[in-house]
Amino acid sequence: MARATSSVDPSPPAPVMSPHQRTPNFIIFGEMGVGKSSLVNLIAGDQLAKSSSGAESCTLQSTEYPVTFSDPRLNVNLFDTVGLDSPTMNNAGYLDALVKAHELIVSLRNRGGVHGLLFCMKAGRVSTTVQQNYRLFFEFLCQEQVPLALVITNLENEDNMDDWWTKNKAHIENSGIVPVTHVCITTIKGYQNAYEARYFESRKKVLNMLRELGGSDACSEDVSSWFLRMCKKLRQFLVPAKGLGRSRQKMLQMLTKRCKLRKEDAVQLLQKIDADEEKLVS
């Protein structure tokens, strides 16, 4: 997992937090091209993250960006995470995604858990892939236990950015996406800073939202049970062909070599996945 840092001063006032409270951790996710890297830079107030072409990225691959401020109580860790770009994946994609899921889970567990999900999406209709991303992160990775905030981007040309939510809330919720909060923003300043005022308005909105979400308890659990759930859910939900078949040996190698599991633990995990798949078939 890559890691980068930034240190800037934000505009919102500092919240009252315990001196022993850990830095809040947030997962940023969504389809390629929705502005996840731009959202990181908006929060950091600096060009911290570079936009990815996606050519060498795989689902659940993440880059950690610790963003620090002059007041340490405002610090956040952002995990810019690759989401799904299609509703299904093949066996190779599944195995790669599991490796990245394990890295993400271990990193979050080591940092005390996750405080919030930032679901980044462009203004528009909700596609099947958008719905799958919501389920992958909110339902499967976090078991609906982590507050999810919807970040609607690409609204710089709206007369009033917040009006987009009023007009589209019903469509979003009818698509099965129910956030605890939302922000309607732009992540660009535009040509000759045409959208600069809306850019800084957007930054203030996002920082205020992070401050509120970061004040809650983090969600965390045992790495092995967390990872087992992701293995099973990814397989059942995203891989069309049932059963591990010929990929079983590859999966065993992946678990032991790339995820560093003991062989006996990897075998036990595969047996649990097989047992669940037999239940589905019967």
Looking at the predicted structure, is the pLDDT value of residue 272 above 80? no
Q: What is the mean pLDDT of residues 271-282?
A: 62
List C-alpha distances in Å: 261 to 50, 236, 267, 268, 276: 32, 22, 10, 11, 21
Looking at the predicted structure, is the pLDDT value of residue 87 above 90? no
Nearest to 27 by CA among 75, 1, 62: 62
Q: What is the pLDDT of residues 142-199, one digit of tens each?
A: 989 999 999 999 999 999 999 999 999 999 999 999 999 999 999 999 999 999 999 9
Q: What is the mean pLDDT of residues 25-39?
A: 93
pLDDT score at 17: 42
R_g of the chain, CA atoms, integer Å: 19
pLDDT, mean over the chain: 84
Angle between helices 196-214 and 36-44 (to 10 degrees): 80
pLDDT score at 239: 65
Q: Which comes out higher in pLDDT, residue 7 or 125?
A: 125
List C-alpha distances in Å: 166 to 151, 170, 171, 199: 14, 8, 10, 20
